[in-house]
Every structure is written in C-alpha cells, then in structure tokens.
Structure 1
Amino acid sequence: MRTDYRWLPLACLVGAGVSLIMSGCTMGPDFRHPTIAAPDQWSGPSAANPAASVAVAEPIDPAWWNSFGDPLLTELVTQAIQNNLDIKVAAARLAESRAQLGQSRAAEFPTLDGNASYTREFQSPDGVIGLLGGTGSSTPGTSTNGLGGRQGGVPTQGATSSGLPPFNLYQYGFDASWELDLWGRVRRTAENASATAEAQEEARHDAVVSTTAEVARDYLDLRGIQEKLRITRENLAYAQRTVQLTADRAHHGLATDLDVANAQSQAASTAADIPQDEQQQAQLINAIGLLLGEYPQALAARLTAPSAAPVVPPRVPVGLPSELAHRRPDIREAEATLHAATANIGAAKADFFPKITLSGSVAIQATQFTNLGSWGARSYSAGPSLSIPLFEGGQLRATLALREAQQQEAAINYRKTVLSAFKDVDDALTGYAAEQRRRDRLDESVQASRRALELANKRYVRGISNYLDVLTAQKTLLTNEEQLADSTATVTTNLVALYKALGGGWDIAEAKVSDAAQ
C-alpha cells in the first residue's frame, strides 16, 4: 500500500496560519514611556544678585566648547572624540549588543541546515541487530530471525556468525525546524535585546558627554594653574627685588638684619609654591593626554606654553527643563534599561506555556555511493513536537519573580536618574552664578591689596613704617591674586559642569564617533 503524502503541504499551511493567528498573543506588560513632571523654567540668579554671564532659555549649542573661543580647546575636544579609549570601549559594547540583537531576532525565523556524511559501520550481533534477528555471537546455531522468535526480522542473507558484515553508509540532506512563537517568548526576547542595544547606544553617548566635559575641565584647570604660575613668578621677582632693596638699606644703616631676614623668608616662601604648581601642570597635561589616547607628556609641547585663560560668554543657552530627558544620555539609557526589564517579564511568563516546534528533514541515504542519485534512496520526516513544563521545582516562578523585581529596580533607578539630572542642572546653575559674584569681589580685593602694597612700600622707603607692613601687604596680595586666579578658573569649569549636566555634545559628535568606531 502506497502512502499518500499530498496532505503535507496543506498541513504546513494550516500550521503557519495557526502561528500567524496566535502571534498576537504576547505575554507580559507592554512598555510605556514614563512621564516626567519637569518644572516650567530653570532657577537662576535673582535680580538682586545678577551675574555677568547669565543662563537664558534658548536652544543649546551642541558644540558648546566653541563658546570659550579657544581654537586649541576645540582641537583637543575633537581629537578626544575620535581617539578616547572609553568612547571606543562603549562603541565596542554597542557593537556587541547589536550582534546579540541579531541573534535574538534570528530565533523568529525557521532554521535550515544542510548535512552530508560518510561512515563505515559494523553492527554488533549482540546489540540491536541481535534483537531484530540474525545469529548472535553468544548464541551460535540459533534459528531465530526476529524479536521474540518471530520470523521476518533482519535477513540472514549475507550475514555471518558475527552478524551483518561491515558496510558503508552515505547520506546527505536538509534539516529544518521552527518554533511557533505562540506566546511571544521569542518576540519578548528580541524586544529585550533591542532595548539593551538602545541602552548601550546611550551609554556611548554618555561617554562622549563625560569625555568632552573632562577634556574641557582639565584644559581650563591647566590654564588656571599656568595663570597662578605667572602670578607666583611675578611675586617672586618682586620679592627678590625687595630683598636686594632691604639689603642695601641695611648696608647703609637704614634697615635691620631682621628686615633682611624677613624679606629673604618671603622670597623663599614664594619660590616654594612654584614646584607644586609645576607638578599640577604636568599632571593636568598627562590627564588630557590620557583622554586623547596619548602617552604621558606627549602633549607637553602644545600645552606647556602659557596662554590666556578662556573667558565665558555673556549669555549661556540652557534650553527648557522639558527638554532635559531628551538630551541627557543617562536618562535615555535608564529608560531603555527599564524597557529591557519589562520585556523580560513577558519572556518569563511565556515559559509557563507549551512550546510547539515544527521540524522536518529530507535526506538521501545509501550504502552504495552510486545510488546517491537515485530517488528511491530518499528518506524524510516531518511533524510537530510539543514541550509542556510539568514540574520545574519552582524555577519558572522564581524566574518570573526575579524579572518583576528587576523591573521594579529599573523603574526606581530611572526615577533616581531623572531627579539626579535636575539636581545636577540646578546645582550647576547656582554654582556658576555664585562663583561669578565671588570672582568679582576677589577682583576688588586684588585691586585694594595692590594699592596697599604700593603704599606700604613707599612708607617703608621713607622710613615712616617698618618692613612688617610691607611683608604683610605682599602676603595679602599674593593670596588674593591666587584666589582670584582659582575663582576665574572655577567660573569656566562650572560652566563646563553646566553643559555636562544639560547633556550637551553627544549629538554633534555622533558622526565622528561612528566614523572612529569603524
């Protein structure tokens, strides 16, 4: 009797139709973008405490480092975007996550494998062949040719007392399988991988924001240290002239040896500050070099020469609070992580339900190589398989509880990230305005200290006052000048902190990062 296989294509179509109908059944909650209650406007300096450089609700300049008007700073930031190792690591992790996304999406499609093999086989007469028929080696002379003494098992023609003779087996064909994603397990897994890839992309954006801000901050700190070095060296030259002047006056009996000793002490104390500032200068150059992927002191020739400290612009565009979630990469990363955790819940719930897999194989199998082209050598199999979880020892429930707890953690982390972002911006705005007011007061103090030193020096030369007044005025002026240099540098670095808090820079650098990652 010939079996009719014409029903197989129809069965395949029915199975595919069932799969398409059931594909709408996806377990677990669907992800919804969280809403953020943002304030209407940023806080800023009050009218009673105005600042020279103020924040305005205007669109942010993506290339914010250009606002300092320093071509070298722009060059360093551009080089860091292309060569920074942290950015390269983040780009590599993004490539990994995208590859994993490809793996997850591949599970949505059928698999088809080709195979071919050749084997030389010998079947043991005491094994399966012995059960099906033939003469076993341990029971010589047995006439049984089938299981349980029945006839019609393995033909004895050509067989020996040791069973079937060795033979060759050639075969080639195709195997196919496809899991019917009835409950959305595969789709949820792919959704998780997609959200994870999105989170890695935002992590790369965050690396760009952090790197550009770090380069700018180190560069501005370097210029601040160089300004302090200039001030210290000028004060040292002044102190050395004072030592000479005091020594001349002591030689003529117009000053005491105590005045000379005090002048020498002040000069030595001023000179002692120079090595420390030079050390900080070298360390900052190395820090910038590391951010640019360079070896220590590779940038010394470009950065050691003093340059005027960059100035802040009079108006600083900061955009609107409602735009912060779109600009800050860490908020976007936290949202994508929450999305991935939500998708994992659906995948865990789908594991509670049966899995149906359609599988089939077509092969040509022959013991003679010349028969491999014969249609009579064909063999095939097709049919569904069903896997039902009956007892897992509580593993499935524990996995679901774990996924739900991870989603709760991701939701809390998202809220914390949002609150921290608004805090960063508010702190940066407050610090930027406050440091400008401090710098203005320190500038007034320096002007007054410089005038006091001039008066004290004139009174000492005329013999009206002793050298202690000059020494005190020198120390006060040096301290105030150093504080002014520190405050001026802090104003610029506070502006960098503000730009970083606003999440600026990654969008304009995206093309450069993509090119560098290839």
Structure 2
Amino acid sequence: MRNYNTTLLPVSALLALLAVSGCATPAVAPLQSQPLTPAALAVSEAATPFAADWWRALNDASLELLLAQALRSNPGLDAADARLRAARAGIASVASNDGLKVNGNLGASRARTSEFDALPPAMLGQWTTLQTVSADFSYRFDFWGKTRAQLAAARGQARAAELEASDARQSVAYALVGSYLEWRGAQAALTLLQQDRQQAASLLQNAEQRVKHGLAQPDEVLQARAQLADSDERLLRGEQRISAAAHALAALSAQPQAAIDALPAAALPQWTLDTAPLSSGQLGLRADVQAARERVEASRGNVAAARADFYPDVRLNLMAGLSAQELGDLFSPGARVLRLAPALTLPLFSNGELNARLDSRSAELEAAIASYNQTLLNAIRDTADHSSQLARLRSAEAAKQQALLARRDSVAKVQSRASAGLTTPASLLAEQRQLTQARLAALELHTQRLQSQAALIRTLGTAPAATR
C-alpha cells in the first residue's frame, strides 16, 4: 500500500497540471451597460421613507378594516408569498451542493450462478446470499467559489422576492385606498346630484307654470326639460360610479359585496399630505427599485458561477460498510468493506456548452441592468408627473373654494332680493342650482387631490412592509 501511495503522488501532480493548463477557456463579450446611479440622474440620496401603514393618516376606521382584510386575504399577496418561500428554499438547495453528504444503505441479494459459468466446479449452479449494511460519504470542495457565487445569487433572488412581496402589499393598499376614496367621493357626489336633479325638476315646474300663465316662451320649458334629462343622466352615472368602486373594494378585500354595502356611512376624509420634507432620494427606497437592484446582483452571482464551471470539480467519496453471505458473519471484523474514491472532473472540451452558458448568464445580467435602469427612470417620471399633478390640483382646489364662497354670497344676495320681491323664484332656483354644481366641482377636485396624494406616496415608496 505504501508503494501505491508513492506512485499516486506524481499522478496527482499530473492531474493538477492538467487542471490548470487544459481547462476550457471562458470567452464572453464585455457588459454593454451599467446600473444608473442617483448622481447621474440628479437624484438626492438622503431621504426618509413613508411608513408602511401610511393610510392611517386618513383616520378612517372603515378604510383600516378593509385594508386589514385585504392584506390577509388578497390572492395576489398569497402568490407573492409563495414566490418568496420558493426563493428562500432555493437558498437551502444551493447551500446543500457542497460539504458532507451521507446516505445509508441496507440491502440483501440472493443469486444463482450458471452451471456453465467460468467458475470453480463447486460454485456452479449454487445459490448465494449477500447481506450488506453500508454508508456512503461524499464531500464536494468549492475551490473556485462556484457554490459561493450561486449562494449569493440565490440570496439576491430571495431578497428581491421579499421586496416584491412588500411591494405587492403596497400595490394592494394603494389600489384599495384609491377605490375607497372614489367610493366615498361618489357617495358624497350622489347626494349633490340628487339635489341638483330636484332643483332641475323645480325649474321645469316653474317654467311650465310661467308658460301656462303667459309669462314665458315655450322654449324655456324645452330648455328646462333638457337640463332635467342631463341631470338624470349624471345621476345615473353617479350611481354607476358608486357601484364600480364598491365592486373594486369587494374584489381587493376578498369579501362579498354585502360586506361593503354594510359599512357605515362616512364623509370623504380630510387629509392633507405635507410635501415639504419629500425628497427624490425616496425613490431609491422603493421596494420595486430595490428588488430590481437585487436581481442585478443576483445575476452577477450567476455569471461568476458560470465562470467557475470552467474549472475542475473536486469530490471525495467514501463507502464504509459490512458485507457477508451469512447473517451471523455480517458484524464480524472480516465483513468490513471500505472504498475511497477521490474524483476530479476536468472540463477539457465542452463543444461550446460552457461558453454558451456563460454568455446566457451575461445576457441575463444585461437584461437585469436594463430592467433596473428602466424601473428607476419610470419612478423618476412618475414622481414628477404626480408631483406636478398634485400641485395643479391644490391650486385648482384653492381657486374653486374661493369661487364657491363667492357663489354662496351670490345665493344669499339673490335670496334676499327674492324675499323682498325684487326677483323671481326661478332666478333663485337657478342660482341655487349653480351653487350645487359648484359644490360638485369642488368635491371632485377634493377627491382627485386625495387620490393624487396617495399616488405620490405610492410613487415615492414606503418602508418595506412585513411579509406574512
């Protein structure tokens, strides 16, 4: 045995030389793009994200109940959590590639030899029984860092899946808040639309009376009827708007429609978002932006692992066990079986497979970088759009409030003149209807501003939400 070991050493040295000199050579084109940096896009890096439960600022109990239900039961979140569990399992799977593995074996075989076999005559045509108890040990060495690179990639994918699960929760929350604001706004608008319809009906009745007594032309009745028909149409659209928003709430919260209809009546929230401390640096904290960056780093790990495929794979295999024909001899010292099998796999020629795999992983890295860059650019564009939209809505709402005050003063003056007999009831009705329509316009701007504030929070990003 000692002479065999001395002979094995030069052979091992020769194999090591072949490993260094004979491996396939990696060849891949250099990267064509790099991840965009905040400095290159003039984006601030210092920022504090919104709280994950930002909707509490609306101080609406019904909204919070709906959100709690949605975050428990929405199927989209279940799917995101399943992807996260799969990604985390992938980490354990990759980590198991290296290190020690042990398999136990227990077996028995019974065989008959041929009478015409090339064996001693005493063994021809005989039945033999063999019992075996053994354990296989294998150890893989990660000399070139392939498993470490794969593990880094798997961890990056899991982190990306975790961020995407958090982003999915924020998507559900934003969609539900938007639908809830639409629902409450439509409910408030329906009350005003009903009032507008009553006023239009009163104007028609007044016009008919005036024509009947010869105080107005028939055209006035036709105009009043057209206005009433228009009011009826807007009332119908208002009812449809409520139904659509309620259906969206039921779907998002995974509840029957009756549960939405049973919610207590409530006014549209009065919520003003303080935009002074907001910074573009919050974009880097968005879950989808962070997830895209994690996928870039995961792709880098896959490229490193593909490069490591060009180097030898070293394993050490050992089998230790007991084997005997008679069960009584199985545990005797003479039944011992040992087998040591070191193995070195050397990729001398792969017919382009390894280079193709490396090129594929490099292309995936390019795609991940492009996806990250596009996600960041979209975030910057969306933030600019929502910021300017919110500024316009705030200005429009302020102007509409001033116009609404002026309209109320006008109604009060016309009412005083009507009480004094200085103007007709029709003039007062017309002025009151204009006030109602001004209130509808102000309510619509208020609803849009609230929704725009929610959209800006969604665009800028929040702190990562806890996964289920």
Band of TM-score, shorter chain: 0.7 to 0.9
Are 2:374 and 1:416 equivalent residues in the alignment? yes
Write the letter of the residue equivalent to 2:248: A
Distance 1:274 1:323, change over 3 A: closer
| 1:423 CA drift (Å) | 2.5
Write the letter of the residue equivalent to 1:381: R
Write the letter of the residue equivalent to 1:442: K
| Whole-angstrom distance in 2 between the partners of 1:213 and 1:230 | 26
| Whole-angstrom distance in 2 between the partners of 1:302 and 1:349 | 60
1:155-174 residue CA offsets vs partner (Å, 9 max, x unmatched): 32142xxxx32332221110
Are 2:285 and 1:313 equivalent residues in the alignment? no
Check whether the contact 2:50–2:461 (CA below 8 A) recurs between aligned residues.
no
2:116 to 123, 135, 143: 135
Partner residue of 1:75? Answer: 65
| 1:427 CA drift (Å) | 2.1
Partner residue of 1:235? Answer: 196
Partner residue of 1:288? Answer: 249
Partner residue of 2:209? Answer: 248
Are 2:38 and 1:36 equivalent residues in the alignment? yes
Check whether the contact 1:189–1:344 (CA below 8 A) recurs between aligned residues.
yes
The aligned runs of 1:88-103 (5 Å cut-off) are: 88-103=78-93
Are 2:390 and 1:390 equivalent residues in the alignment? no
Check whether the contact 2:196–2:433 (CA below 8 A) recurs between aligned residues.
no
| Whole-angstrom distance in 2 between the partners of 1:277 and 1:382 | 81
| Whole-angstrom distance in 2 between the partners of 1:408 and 1:80 | 36
Partner residue of 2:22? Answer: none
Write the letter of the residue equivalent to 1:259: E
Check whether the contact 2:280–2:460 (CA below 8 A) recurs between aligned residues.
no
| 1:330 CA drift (Å) | 0.9
| 1:216 CA drift (Å) | 1.0
| 1:485 CA drift (Å) | 2.3
Check whether the contact 2:324–2:335 (CA below 8 A) recurs between aligned residues.
yes
| 1:260 CA drift (Å) | 3.2
1:14-60 residue CA offsets vs partner (Å, 9 max, x unmatched): 9xxx9xxxxxxxx999xx99853164769xxxxxxxxxxxxxx8774
| 1:247 CA drift (Å) | 3.0
The secondary structure found in structure 1 opposite 2:188 is helix
| 1:420 CA drift (Å) | 2.2
Check whether the contact 2:323–2:336 (CA below 8 A) recurs between aligned residues.
yes
Are 2:274 and 1:274 equivalent residues in the alignment? no
Distance 1:323 1:440, change over 3 A: closer
Partner residue of 1:176? Answer: 137
- Which region of structure 1 is more displaced relative to structure 2, 192-201 or 307-316? 307-316
The secondary structure found in structure 1 opposite 2:259 is coil
Are 2:361 and 1:403 equivalent residues in the alignment? yes
The aligned runs of 1:13-92 (5 Å cut-off) are: 35-37=37-39, 39=42, 60-92=50-82
Residue identity (%)? 25
| 1:84 CA drift (Å) | 2.2
Distance 1:214 1:108, change over 3 A: same
Write the letter of the residue equivalent to 1:429: S
| 1:313 CA drift (Å) | 2.3
User: What is the root-mean-square deviation of aligned Cα atoms in Å?
Assistant: 3.5
Are 2:187 and 1:226 equivalent residues in the alignment? yes
Partner residue of 1:322? Answer: 281
Partner residue of 2:120? Answer: 155
1:99-150 residue CA offsets vs partner (Å, 9 max, x unmatched): 1110101112211000111223234x4xxxxxxxx734xxxxxxxx5xxxxx
| Whole-angstrom distance in 2 between the partners of 1:286 and 1:472 | 36
Of Structure 1 and Structure 2, which has the larger fraction of its residues in helix?
2
TM-score by length of 2: 0.83
Larger of the two Rg values belongs to structure: 1
1:324-376 residue CA offsets vs partner (Å, 9 max, x unmatched): 31x21011101110111000111111111111110011121222222222221
Distance 1:191 1:314, change over 3 A: closer
Write the letter of the residue equivalent to 2:187: Q
| Whole-angstrom distance in 2 between the partners of 1:434 and 1:33 | 33
Distance 1:313 1:474, change over 3 A: closer
Distance 1:272 1:321, change over 3 A: closer
Write the letter of the residue equivalent to 1:135: F
Partner residue of 1:46? Answer: none
Partner residue of 1:130? Answer: none
2:290 to 332, 339, 347: 332
| Whole-angstrom distance in 2 between the partners of 1:114 and 1:100 | 25
Are 2:176 and 1:215 equivalent residues in the alignment? yes
TM-score by length of 1: 0.76
Write the letter of the residue equivalent to 1:278: E
| 1:319 CA drift (Å) | 4.2
Check whether the contact 1:219–1:284 (CA below 8 A) recurs between aligned residues.
yes
Check whether the contact 1:263–1:471 (CA below 8 A) recurs between aligned residues.
no
1:294-348 residue CA offsets vs partner (Å, 9 max, x unmatched): 2344312116x3x2211222634644433431x2101110111011100011111
2:321 to 341, 353, 363: 363
| Unmatched runs of 5 consecutive residues or more in structure 2 | 17-25
| Whole-angstrom distance in 2 between the partners of 1:492 and 1:193 | 40
Are 2:288 and 1:298 equivalent residues in the alignment? no
The secondary structure found in structure 2 opposite 1:168 is strand
- Which region of structure 1 is more displaced relative to structure 2, 336-345 or 249-258? 249-258
| Whole-angstrom distance in 2 between the partners of 1:71 and 1:329 | 27
The secondary structure found in structure 2 opposite 1:311 is coil
The secondary structure found in structure 2 opposite 1:279 is helix
Are 2:400 and 1:442 equivalent residues in the alignment? yes
Distance 1:390 1:475, change over 3 A: farther
| Whole-angstrom distance in 2 between the partners of 1:36 and 1:352 | 36
